[in-house]
Amino acid sequence: MFKKILIANRGEIALRVLRACRELGIKTVAIHSDVDENAMHVRMADESICVGPASAQSSYLNIPAIITAATLTDVDAIHPGYGFLSENQRFAEIIEEHNIKFIGPRSEHIKMMGNKIDAKKIMDDSGVPTVKGINDLSNKAKIDEFINKVKYPIIVKAASGGGGKGMRIVTENDDLDKAIKEAKIEAKKSFNDENVYLEKFLTSPKHIEIQVLCDSFGNVVTLGERDCSIQRKHQKLIEESPSSILTNDNRDKISKLCRKAMKEIQYEGVGTLEFLYENDAFYFMEMNTRLQVEHPVTEMVTGIDLVKEQILVANGEKLTIKQEDIKLKGSSIECRINAEHPESFIPSPGKITQYHQPGGLGIRVDSAVYDGYSIPSNYDSMIGKLITYGATRSEALKKMNRALEEYVIMGINTNIQLHQKIIQTDEFKRGNYNINFMSNLIE
């Protein structure tokens, strides 16, 4: 078993990994920037190393400094968390070259899924449904043929894209050539890759994703789905499992296809296949080759500690969980607590002058903040996740309502009020909301 793991991250996820390590009897090394000296993940780790100044580029994304820290502290493995270097193929490669285990998939899988066109093709080949699209934009006649077949609206997307950059939605009245040109410029600027492709644009889908867990012996299990349709500007706000609209039959079908695809590419570790879901049909969007922010809702309904499992399979152990043992029990909801104004969304870093987190049966708070902690302005605004669990969705929702009321964070603005507003809408209560929910709510 690993003796010592370096956690190349900060905030709540660094703490989440640290807790899993502690339960597995593994020592931890925290890395931090100079402004994070007093952060909880540093305080709780067995050892800590400052890897650079405040800017993420010079600290949490500073590969040479992180590798040096790993070498100095003599760790067996590095856990990248999510964000930062978690999907950086080069980082995974360098770690492998240093004979340290990267807790995640092999670098080839990060590369494979990093390019959206390639990822879609792989899924297509495995029979996983994808959105109809066209990758070769050099032939005008072929583009016209495609549009005649799928009809407008269509969307232009960047091959290396993410976060809504390099995307253009095109309706009948818009100029397609102009949209492609603009998307190319934006994609080149943002990702240094001007490749774009066209896809049929789904107008009101849900975002539903499937969690996978794979070992190095070819064993693959899926752990149900998460409905992450409550998003603002492509950032998820609320996630839940199971989705209230998915039938068992539909879940089983898509899960089976995901397992087949993972087996075929010999994937290792945890991963998530993201889909759009409209009119009872799934359309593959992309795969995240890492642990997700919203993994706790899956843990709550399956009773499986995903981070521990991730570490165990990275250590070369065989999965002990069988697919037939995985049953989704009850219902879980997660609200992402952000340090931002609930209406204007202006980021609100600063000192927390009073802090009280909710508790009680079925309440889980994954957060690294504490009373008197100063939230730096250099990193993401998510300061914690509030997760509730109930035997039914309605119970989980009631608990969320109560927990949000109980949560006290003073000194900064948070989006707690926004969450209260969202979960009290009829649409959310019914569960049939789609990805347009937030833009409709704000307007």
Partner 1 sequence: MTKIDKTDLENIKLIIKESKIDNVTKIKIKKKDYEIEISSSNFDEKNTSIHKVDRNIEVSEVENTNEIINEENIVKSPMVGVAYLSADPNSQPYVKVGQHVKAGDTLLLIEAMKTFNEIKAPRSGIIKKIVALNSQPVEYGDTLIIFE
Q: Which residues carry out catalysis?
A: 290
Least distance to partner 1, CB of residue 377, Å:
5
As given in the structure block, the two tokens for residue 424 are 């009290």
As given in the structure block, the two tokens for residue 442 are 């704000």
Residues 169-198 that bind partner 1 (CB under 8 A): 189
Q: Which of 141, 248, 346, 426 binds partner 1 (CB under 8 A)?
A: 346
Q: What is the separation of C-alpha 230 from the centre of its chain, rounded to a whole number of angstroms?
A: 13
- Piece of the chain touching partner 1 by CB under 8 A; list 305-313, 341-349, 400-408, 414-422: 341-349
With binding defined as CB under 8 A, does residue 317 bind partner 1? no
As given in the structure block, the two tokens for residue 27 are 């020592």
As given in the structure block, the two tokens for residue 26 are 């593994």
SS3 for 117-148 is HHHHHHHHHHCCCECCEECCCCCHHHHHHHHH
Site string for partner 1, 46-65 (x = CB under 8 A): --------------------
Nearest to partner 1 of 38, 57 (CB atom) = 57
- Piece of the chain touching partner 1 by CB under 8 A; list 169-177, 315-323, 346-354, 358-366: 346-354
Q: Which of 68, 320, 353, 377 binds partner 1 (CB under 8 A)?
A: 377
Least distance to partner 1, CB of residue 8, Å:
17
With binding defined as CB under 8 A, does residue 381 bind partner 1? yes
* Beta-carbon count within 10 A of 340 CB: 20
Q: Which of 228, 339, 387, 416 binds partner 1 (CB under 8 A)?
A: 339
Question: What's the CA gap between 76 and 64, in Å, rounded?
Answer: 17
Handedness of CA 25, 384, 36, 190 (dihedral sign): positive
Q: Which of 193, 350, 371, 429 binds partner 1 (CB under 8 A)?
A: 350
Least distance to partner 1, CB of residue 347, Å:
4
Polymer length of the chain: 443
Decide the pairing of beta strands 363-367 and 382-390: antiparallel
Backbone angles phi, psi at 66, to 5 degrees: -70, -40
Least distance to partner 1, CB of residue 382, Å:
9
User: Is-contact 319 213, C-beta < 8 A?
Assistant: yes
Least distance to partner 1, CB of residue 57, Å:
12
Interface contacts to partner 1, rule CB under 8 A: 189, 339-340, 346-350, 377-381
